[in-house]
Structure 1
Amino acid sequence: MCMKLSGADVIIECLKEQGVDTVFGYPGGQAIIIYDALYRARNEIQHILTSHEQGASHAADGYARATGKVGVCIATSGPGATNLVTGIATAYMDSVPMVAITGQVPTSLLGKDSFQEVDITGITMPVTKHNFIVKDVTQLAPTIRKAFAIAKEGRPGPVLVDVCKDVTATQVEYTPQKPAKEDYQSIKLTDISTEDLDRAMQAINEAKRPFLLSGAGVGIAGAEREILELSETASIPVCTSLMGMGTFPGTHQLYTGMVGMHGTKASNYAVHNCDLLIVAGSRFSDRIVSNINTFAPEAKIMHIDIDPAEVSKNVRADYPLVGDIKKILKALLKGIVYKSDTDWTKRVLEWKEKYPLKYDKSDTAIKPQYLIERICELTKGDAIITTEVGQHQMWAAQYFKYNRFRQFISSGGLGTMGYGLGACIGAQLARPDKKVINIAGDGSFRMNCSELATAVEYKLPIIIALFNNKSLGMVRQWQELFFGGRFSQTSIDRGTDFAALAEAFGAKGINVNYPTQVDEAINTALAETCRPVLLNFEIDKDDKVFPIVPPGAGLNEVVDC
C-alpha cells in the first residue's frame, strides 16, 4: 500500500520493517525532524536517550552483540556525528552489525562550512563496511534497507547513513516492503572445490597433533555445535580468541582456555607444538600471533573464514576455506574419522593440569581473580559480562567460565576504554531476562561514567564491578615489567569516591574493602531489580595479569609470574 510520508517518517517505517524496536541516540538540530517522527512512533520504537553520543554507539553495539540483531544509533550532525566515530570503529573492528543514522545540514548548505557541518561519510569511510549520504528523498528508503542488508551480510559490521535535513522534511511516496528472508550469514560453498574439502578432511584425519582455535566468527555463524562435534569426534583440544569466548564451552574437558598474549600456557604451548592448527572465525591478530617468525612453527594452517580478505593476510594458510563457517564445518564433519583420546590430547591436557591459571590466594587483600571467580560462582555462570579495557578485561576473560556465545561482550580489536558501561546498558535492554555485569577499571569507567544517569533513568538493574586500583593498571604493568618501573602518568589516585558518585546519579553504591565483604556485596547487587549498583572493589595497584607473552617473544615463551 503506497502512502505519502515525510523523509523522517520513511526512516521510522524502514526501521519498523527491519524489526527494530529499540534505538539509542541524542537529538540535535539537523536530526530534529527525525526525532519528531520518533515521538509519533514512541509506542512502537523505544528510544533510549544516552548521556553522550559515544554512549549511544556503545549501547547499540552491546545490544547487537547480545542478540545478533542490528544495533541502531542516531545522532545529529557535526559533533553529534563525530562523537559516534569511536563506537563505530569499535563495532567495525569486532564485526558487529550496526546502523548509525546521522542528521546532516540541508543539501543547499553542503560544502559551505555551515554550522555543525562535517563530512561524516569521509571521516567514517575507513571504519564502516559502507556509508551513504542521502540528498534525494526518493533514495531514502532503498538506502536504509540496503544499509541493514550490508550490516548483516557476510562478515557483519557497521554502516552509516547520513541524511540531509531537507530530505527528512520532504514528502515522498512510500511503499512498505518486507525484508528479504535470506540468511545473510549464508554463503554457498561454490567457491570451495571438492578437492579442497577432501584435502582439508585428509589433513585433519592424518594430523598427529591437531589443535583448534575458535574465534568470534564461529558464534556469528551459529557454528558452536559443529566446532564441539569436530573437537569431540577427532579428539582435538580447543582454545578460543578473546572475542571467541563461549564459542566452545568453558567447562569442557578439551577446552584449554584463551590463546595469545594473556592466554594459558596450555593453549600457547599447544599452538607452538601442534602439527595442524585449525583456525575458525579468527583473524590472527597480533595479540594471538605475537612473534610471527615463531608462530606455530611445526604446523600446517587451516583457516576457515567468511571474509576472504582475512585468509593469508597475517599468517599464510595451507588449507584456505572461505565461506559460511557452519556450512564448511558440516561438510568437513562428513569425512572426519572418529578418534578416542590420543597421546597428543593427553599431552595437552597434562599441560592444562600442570599450568593452571593461578594467583596468590593467601593474600588478605581482595584479589581481582578471586572477584571474577566469585561473580561466576554466585551467578552460576549465567550472567552476561561486559568489560571496559585493561587488566580487568583480561581477568574477566581468564577466570569466568563462558559456556555460550554472546555472554562475553568486550572491545577486542580497538580496545576502547569507556566501552563497557554503554555496552552493558545495551545488553541489559536486549536481554532483560539476564543479569548483566560490567567489569570495569577505574581508568576506563571515569571516561563514560555519565552513562550511569542513563541506566538510572531506565531503571536498569545492571551491576558495575569496579576494580579500583587507582591507576591505569595495564599500562602500569608494562611500565614495571618492560620500562624499568618508570611509572609515567599512570597514577590516577584523585580521591574520587565512586560509591558516592553512583549515589549522586541515583544508583546504589557499595564500597568493598575486604575479601570477607565480597559475597555479601555481590549478592546485594544481584538482588536489585530496578536500579544499577556500583560495587567499588579496592584492589592493589601492583596486581598483574599473568600469564603474559612479553613483546617480541614467541608463544612458547609465555611467563606466569
Structure 2
Amino acid sequence: MGQTVADHLLHRLREWGVEQVFAYPGDGINGLVSAFGEADNQPRFVQTRHEEMAAFAAVGYAKFSGEVGVCMATSGPGAIHLLNGLYDAKLDHVPVVAIVGQTARSAMGGSYQQEVDLQALFKDVASEYLVEVNVAQQLPNALDRAIRTARWSRCPTALIIPADLQEEPYSPPAHAFKQVPSSPPGTSWSRPVPSDAELDAAAEVLEAGERVAVLVGQGARGAAEEVRQLADLTGAGVAKALLGKDVLSDELPYVTGAIGLLGTRPSYELMRDCDTLLIVGSNFPYSQFLPEPGQARAVQIDIDGRLIGMRYPTEVNLVGDSAATLAALLPRLHRKPDRSWRETIEKNVAAWWDTVEREAALEAKPVNPMAVVSELSRRIPDNAIVTADSGSSTNWYARNLRIRGDIRGSLSGTLATMGAGVPYALGAKFAHPDRPVIALVGDGAMQMNGLAELITLAHYRDLWRDPRCVVCVFHNNDLNQVTWELRAMGGAPKFEESQALPDVDYTGFARSLGITAVGVDRPEQLGPAWDTVLAADGPALLDVRCDPEVPPIPPHATFEQVKSATEAVLKGDPDAFHMVAQGVKTKVQEMLPGRRS
C-alpha cells in the first residue's frame, strides 16, 4: 500500500524537525494514530491525560524550546478541549500548531455524532491561519503554512483533517490550474532593524534622560547581553514583566525584579521616579504601574508593530528584532558619568531583597508560603526550568524566586489560566530532557489538572537524561488568590462554600505512581525537603502545608489600603484576626530601616 495522507503528514512533520506531538486519541484521528504506528512512533505521540493538557504541554514546549509546539485531538469534544491551551498560546504569543480530526466528509452537515463546526470554533483562537484540508493535494501547503505562520507570527494555527481523508492515498499537488505547491521545510528568518533616523531619534531620548528605566518582557530574551550593555551606559534600572522574569539575572544589582501587582517595591519606585522609559519586547498591560503620562519620555522596541505604543504614550517606536535593534542603538549612546540614579536603584534593590528574606522568615501557621520559594532559591540548580501556575503561589514565584545562571521560567502570563503549571513542566522536559524542571502549583490547580498529569510525568520519566521533575504543591485548602481578591477588591470576607478545597493526600497519590514524595508541615522541614526532591532520581512531589492568611500585598499598597481591606474582612472572615496579624507583620517588614546583617 502506498503512502496515505496521514503518513505524509507525519513525514512532513519530521521534515520540519518535529520530534513529538502532544495528543489524546479518538476515532476522529484514527488514521493519524495508525500512521504513528506505521512510522515507528516518529514523531513521538505523547499521550497526555486530557486534550487541554496536550495543548498546554505544546505551549510549554514552545516557550522553553523556541520551536513550534504541536498538539493533536479528535473531532468534537477533543477539539473543544484544546481551546484553553490554544488561547494561552495566542495571548502569550507562542507558536503552536493544532492538528484536529473532523467527521468524515460524507457525513458533514448531517448532525452526525461528534460533528462540530470546527472552523467556527477555531475562528478566533487560530485567526492567523485556519484551514480544513479536503483533498490530499492540499496538505503540504496547508501544513507548511500553518507552521510558518505560527513561527513568524508567534501564534496558534489550526489544521482540520476529516477522518476519511486521513486514510486516503496521498498524491502531491500537480503543476496544474488550482493546485497549490509548497517549498521544502526550513526557513531562515530575517532580523529586521529600524532605520538610522529612527535609531538616532531613540538615542536622543535616552541620551537626554537623567533617570532612565528599562522594562523588559519575553521579547527581550534573546537580547539579554544588549540590555545589560545599555543599562551600563545609561545607568538605568531594569524591571521585568512576569513573562520576562528570566531575561536577566536577579543577581545583577540594578535589576529591580517583577513589575505590577505581583511585582516588587523597587520596580514600583523605578517607574514612579524615572524621567525616561525604554520598553523592550513587552506588552505589559497594567499601565498604572508605568510612569504617569507626560512624566517620562519613552522609547519602545518590538518585533510586532501592532503592539507598539499601546501601553504608554511612546515618543519613538522601533519595530524590529530586539537584539539586532539594540546592537544598532548601542554605538549611538555614551556612558553617563553621573551614577547617582543607579546608586539609588541598587540601594533600593538590596534593601528589598533583605525585606523579602525577613518576610519569608516570619512565623506562620503552619508554613509561610514565601519561605517555600525562598528556600528553593538557595538550592535551585543554575540550569533549572521553573513553571508556575496561576494563583497566590504566583506571587511568591514572581517576588521570591531569584533568577541566576541559565534558569528559565514561565507561566500563563496573559490568560492567567489555572492548571497550566504541570503540563508546562511536561512540555519543558521534552524541550530540555537534560535539565531539571520545577513546577510551583497551588492546590486548586493541582486538583484541577496537576494530579492527572503526574501520571504522564511518571509514564515518560525514562525518556529524559535528567529525570528530575519536581512538582511543589502549595497546600492551603483554599482557592487563595480569589479569596484575597474578594477581600481586597470586593471588600468581602472569605466565602467558605466557594473558596474552601477538599483536603487531598498528594503525597499518597504520588507514591502510588512510584514518584518520590515528601510532605512538610513545619518550617524546619522545608530546606531538607527541597534537598530530597531536588536529588531524586525521577519525578518528585513536595507537599507543603501553607498558611492561607499570608497576604500577597502589592508593592504600592499603603497602610491605609491595608486598613481598608482589614475592616472589610473583619465583617465575618472565618480567620480574620490571624489574617490581620499576618498582614501587619508582613507590611511592617517593608517599613523597617536598613539592611539585615
TM-score (norm. length: structure 2):
0.86
Deviations 1:282-340 (A, max 9, x none): 11312xx2378x73551112111111111122332211111222221111112111224
Is the Cα contact below 8 Å between 2:374 and 2:401 reproduced in 1?
yes
Aligned letter for 2:131?
A: F
Aligned letter for 2:219?
A: G
Alpha-carbon shift at residue 341 of structure 1 (Å): 5.3
Work out the CA distance in 2 between the residues paired with 1:341 and 1:450.
56
Aligned letter for 2:146?
A: A
Q: State the number of aligned residues.
A: 543
Given the superposition, is the C-alpha separation of residues 252 and 484 from structure 1 closer, same or farther in structure 2, using an over 3 Å criterion? same
**2:192 aligned residue:** 188
Work out the CA distance in 2 between the residues paired with 1:28 and 1:56.
14
Deviations 1:214-246 (A, max 9, x none): 100112xx2122111111222211011000012
Alpha-carbon shift at residue 110 of structure 1 (Å): 2.5
Deviations 1:128-155 (A, max 9, x none): 33222111211111111111111111x4
Work out the CA distance in 1 between the residues paired with 2:39 and 2:277.
51
* Ranges in structure 2 where 5+ consecutive residues have no aligned partner: 174-181, 462-466, 562-582, 588-597
**1:415 aligned residue:** 416
Work out the CA distance in 2 between the residues paired with 1:150 and 1:71.
13
Is the Cα contact below 8 Å between 1:17 and 1:177 reproduced in 2?
no
Task: Show the 5 A alignment for 1:221-370.
Answer: 222-286=222-286, 289-290=287-288, 295=292, 297-340=294-337, 342-356=339-353, 357-358=355-356, 359=359, 361-363=361-363, 365-370=366-371
Aligned-pair identity (%): 29
Task: Show the 5 A alignment for 1:352-501.
Answer: 352-356=349-353, 357-358=355-356, 359=359, 361-363=361-363, 365-403=366-404, 407-448=408-449, 449-459=451-461, 461-488=468-495, 489-501=497-509
Work out the CA distance in 1 between the residues paired with 2:18 and 2:164.
24
Alpha-carbon shift at residue 106 of structure 1 (Å): 1.8
Structure index of larger Rg? 2
Given the superposition, is the C-alpha separation of residues 550 and 138 from structure 1 closer, same or farther in structure 2, using an over 3 Å criterion? farther
Is the Cα contact below 8 Å between 2:262 and 2:395 reproduced in 1?
yes
Aligned letter for 1:21?
A: E
**1:55 aligned residue:** 53
Aligned letter for 2:335?
A: Y
Is the Cα contact below 8 Å between 1:273 and 1:297 reproduced in 2?
no
Is the Cα contact below 8 Å between 1:233 and 1:339 reproduced in 2?
yes
Instruction: Answer with 454-463 or 420-429: which moved more.
Output: 454-463
Is the Cα contact below 8 Å between 1:272 and 1:296 reproduced in 2?
no
Is the Cα contact below 8 Å between 2:518 and 2:542 reproduced in 1?
yes
SS of the aligned residue for 1:167 comes to helix
Alpha-carbon shift at residue 167 of structure 1 (Å): 2.1
Aligned letter for 1:87?
A: G
SS of the aligned residue for 2:334 comes to coil
Work out the CA distance in 2 between the residues paired with 1:235 and 1:261.
26
Deviations 1:377-419 (A, max 9, x none): 2224432111110111121121112236771120010001000
Aligned letter for 2:285?
A: S
Within the candidate set 533, 543, 548, 1:536 is matched to 543
SS of the aligned residue for 1:463 comes to strand
Given the superposition, is the C-alpha separation of residues 62 and 284 from structure 1 closer, same or farther in structure 2, using an over 3 Å criterion? closer
Is the Cα contact below 8 Å between 1:223 and 1:325 reproduced in 2?
yes
Deviations 1:140-181 (A, max 9, x none): 11111111111111x412111111122212212349964233
Indicate the RMSD between aligned Cα atoms, in angstroms: 2.4
**1:209 aligned residue:** 211
Work out the CA distance in 2 between the residues paired with 1:340 and 1:162.
60
Aligned letter for 2:303?
A: I
Given the superposition, is the C-alpha separation of residues 107 and 25 from structure 1 closer, same or farther in structure 2, using an over 3 Å criterion? same
Deviations 1:252-288 (A, max 9, x none): 11101111112111111111221111001111312xx
* Ranges in structure 1 where 5+ consecutive residues have no aligned partner: none
Aligned letter for 2:240?
A: T
**2:595 aligned residue:** none
Work out the CA distance in 2 between the residues paired with 1:160 and 1:433.
30
Work out the CA distance in 2 between the residues paired with 1:506 and 1:121.
42
Deviations 1:40-60 (A, max 9, x none): 223532211111011111111
**2:139 aligned residue:** 140
Alpha-carbon shift at residue 490 of structure 1 (Å): 4.5
Deviations 1:341-387 (A, max 9, x none): 52222222233234444315241642222111211222244321111
Work out the CA distance in 2 between the residues paired with 1:276 and 1:373.
33
Is the Cα contact below 8 Å between 1:248 and 1:404 reproduced in 2?
no
**2:566 aligned residue:** none
Instruction: Answer with 131-140 or 333-342: which moved more.
Output: 333-342
Work out the CA distance in 1 between the residues paired with 2:510 and 2:500.
18
SS of the aligned residue for 2:544 comes to strand
SS of the aligned residue for 2:499 comes to coil
Given the superposition, is the C-alpha separation of residues 549 and 162 from structure 1 closer, same or farther in structure 2, using an over 3 Å criterion? farther
Is the Cα contact below 8 Å between 1:261 and 1:550 reproduced in 2?
no
Work out the CA distance in 1 between the residues paired with 2:240 and 2:75.
40
SS of the aligned residue for 1:231 comes to helix
TM-score (norm. length: structure 1):
0.92
Given the superposition, is the C-alpha separation of residues 402 and 490 from structure 1 closer, same or farther in structure 2, using an over 3 Å criterion? farther
Is the Cα contact below 8 Å between 1:274 and 1:296 reproduced in 2?
no
**1:152 aligned residue:** 151
**2:574 aligned residue:** none
**2:22 aligned residue:** 24
Work out the CA distance in 1 between the residues paired with 2:223 and 2:81.
35
SS of the aligned residue for 1:279 comes to strand
Is the Cα contact below 8 Å between 1:66 and 1:406 reproduced in 2?
no
**2:570 aligned residue:** none
Work out the CA distance in 1 between the residues paired with 2:394 and 2:360.
19
Is the Cα contact below 8 Å between 1:246 and 1:404 reproduced in 2?
no
Aligned letter for 1:444?
A: A
SS of the aligned residue for 2:236 comes to coil
Deviations 1:483-513 (A, max 9, x none): 3342124532413212122223443332111
Given the superposition, is the C-alpha separation of residues 360 and 529 from structure 1 closer, same or farther in structure 2, using an over 3 Å criterion? closer
Work out the CA distance in 1 between the residues paired with 2:480 and 2:102.
40
